[in-house]
């Protein structure tokens, strides 16, 4: 099929390309280059218009087929280019994949910009960046770390002696903060029906205070919970207090419930504790009816 086509067409295109590559084309301006391409295009289009069979071939075949008609060593050069392009795509993909390790980055003219990704129990959450300048001393050019994360403290401890340790430590704080924030957000959005008042939280999400009822419509007194996360690298609270708003001494069953809630909040993520409350309530409702 290729033989039918005016063979000059494929060779012309390829030789044009090679001529431009090997000459000092880099020194020529872009505009000049574009003009030539356009000129070549027009020549080719003229051929296409004039030779109906060529038009037929072009419609069916691919441009690469005409390169195959050209001298073999020219083909090798094209293959090298293709191999390079493929390698480039592969490397770009792997660089993207580093996001899944939690830590990725890009080299900059000043040094490096590191990206910290956060997640909680498989939920992919916010990312933060730290732009480092490679100088003596190493310094942070700018960053997107929230102001309530002790960045300066962590930097003072590790940045100059061990970049890796600095970043891993920062990762810990950011992931924990992200996780606590996620739990509080989920409580507010998914279990608002069980809360009897607004969820009170600080920006660091390590001090939470809320009131809740197990049976939203019912007669029982609401519980009051206060969760303190002293360890900023943890996503579970260190201090939990649950009280009952009733004021008077609680019956034993209430006391048992209150104590079990305290344990639950200490050992399971906040929104999961509430999910279990909601399930229990649903179960009880179905038993009653």
CB of 75 to another protein, least distance (A): 14
If one asks whether residue 73 binds another protein (CB under 8 A), the answer comes out as no
Measured distance CA(221)–CA(238) in Å, rounded: 26
In 3D space, the residue among 153, 201, 187 whose CA is nearest the CA of residue 173 turns out to be 153
Measured distance CA(8)–CA(142) in Å, rounded: 58
If one asks whether residue 48 binds another protein (CB under 8 A), the answer comes out as yes
Tell me whether residue 132 or residue 242 sits nearer to another protein (CB atom): 132
User: Please, where are the H alpha helices in the chain?
Assistant: 7-22, 30-50, 52-60, 63-69, 72-97, 151-158, 163-190, 252-267, 270-288
Using the rule CB under 8 A, which residue among 119, 214, 264, 275 binds another protein?
119
Measured distance CA(158)–CA(143) in Å, rounded: 17
* Subset of residues 83 to 102 that bind another protein, contact rule: CB under 8 A: 84-85, 87-88, 91-98, 100-102
Helix axis angle for 52-60 and 30-50, nearest 10°, is 110
Segment contacting another protein by CB under 8 A, of 120-128, 193-201, 208-216, 222-230:
120-128
If one asks whether residue 26 binds another protein (CB under 8 A), the answer comes out as yes
- Centre a 10 Å sphere on the Cβ of residue 115 and count the other Cβ atoms it contains: 16
Contacting residues toward another protein, per CB under 8 A: 13, 16-17, 20-21, 25-26, 31, 33-35, 37-42, 44-46, 48-49, 52, 55-56, 58-59, 62-63, 77, 80-81, 84-85, 87-88, 91-98, 100-107, 112, 114, 117-119, 121-124, 163-164, 167-168, 171, 175
């Amino acid at each position: 099929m290729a033989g039918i086509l005016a063979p000059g067409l494929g060779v012309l295109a390829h030789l044009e390309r090679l001529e431009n590559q090997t000459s000092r084309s880099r020194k020529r301006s872009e505009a000049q280059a574009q003009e030539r391409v356009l000129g070549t295009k027009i020549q080719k289009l003229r051929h296409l218009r004039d030779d109906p069979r060529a038009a037929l071939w072009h419609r069916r075949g691919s441009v690469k087929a005409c390169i195959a008609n050209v001298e073999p060593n020219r083909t090798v050069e094209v293959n090298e280019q293709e191999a390079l392009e493929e390698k480039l795509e592969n490397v770009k993909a792997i660089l993207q994949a580093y996001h899944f390790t939690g830590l990725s980055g890009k080299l900059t003219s000043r040094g490096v910009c590191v990206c910290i990704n956060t997640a909680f129990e498989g939920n992919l959450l916010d990312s933060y960046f730290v732009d480092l300048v490679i100088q003596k001393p190493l310094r942070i050019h700018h960053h997107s770390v929230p102001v309530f994360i002790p960045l300066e403290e962590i930097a003072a401890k590790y940045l100059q002696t061990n970049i890796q340790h600095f970043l891993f430590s920062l990762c810990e704080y950011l992931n924990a903060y992200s996780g606590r924030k996620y739990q509080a957000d989920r409580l507010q959005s998914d279990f608002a029906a069980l809360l009897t008042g607004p969820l009170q939280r600080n920006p660091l999400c390590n001090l939470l205070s809320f009131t809740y009822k197990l049976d939203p419509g019912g007669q029982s007194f609401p519980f009051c919970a206060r969760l303190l996360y002293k360890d900023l690298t943890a996503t579970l609270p260190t201090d939990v207090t649950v009280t009952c708003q009733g004021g008077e001494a609680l019956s034993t069953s209430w006391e048992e419930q209150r104590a079990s809630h305290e344990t639950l909040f200490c050992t399971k993520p906040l929104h999961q504790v509430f999910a279990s409350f909601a399930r229990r309530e649903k179960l009880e409702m179905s038993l009653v009816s």
